[in-house]
Amino acid sequence: MPFVSRSDDGAVDSVFEQLQEGTAEEFLIDDDPAIVAFQNAPPMVTSVSARQFRLMLRRSGLLAQVKTWVAQQDGETQDAFEYSGTFVKDSPMMTAGFAAMGFTPLQIDGFFAAAAKL
């Protein structure tokens, strides 16, 4: 039977075998719905290949808009977009680009999760 910690929204975000004072003090049974949901949650996608990223941009109808934005950025950002083998969700370029496109954090997570399946 595990001890758990919870995120601000009340969802279980960590599970421990032993009490973690100040962090995980709530004790739940193994088949508690919150434990089951935590154990069965899909992993968070933090990066995708350049191929996956570009295919997702194309399928989302965003490729031209993103290329236009990239063309207006500094040379390093342009090189990173053109030559990176991996696109990391929390990198400065991604953060700036998604902000420019008006994406919410939930939409960014969805974009990367969908791209990871390509």
pTM: 0.72
| Contact status, residue 34 vs residue 11, Cβ threshold 8 Å | yes
Residue 42: per-residue pLDDT: 83
**What are the per-10-residue average pLDDT scores of the chain (118 residues)?**
88 92 92 91 92 98 96 96 96 95 94 96
Using alpha carbons only, what angle is made at residue 66 by residues 62 and 52, rounded to the nearest 5 degrees? Answer: 65
Residues 6+ apart with CB under 8 A from 51: 118
Report helix, strand or coil for 86.
strand
Q: What is the spatial distance between Cα 81 and Cα 56, in angstroms, rounded to a whole number?
A: 14
Provide φ and ψ at 45, rounded to 5°: -90, 120
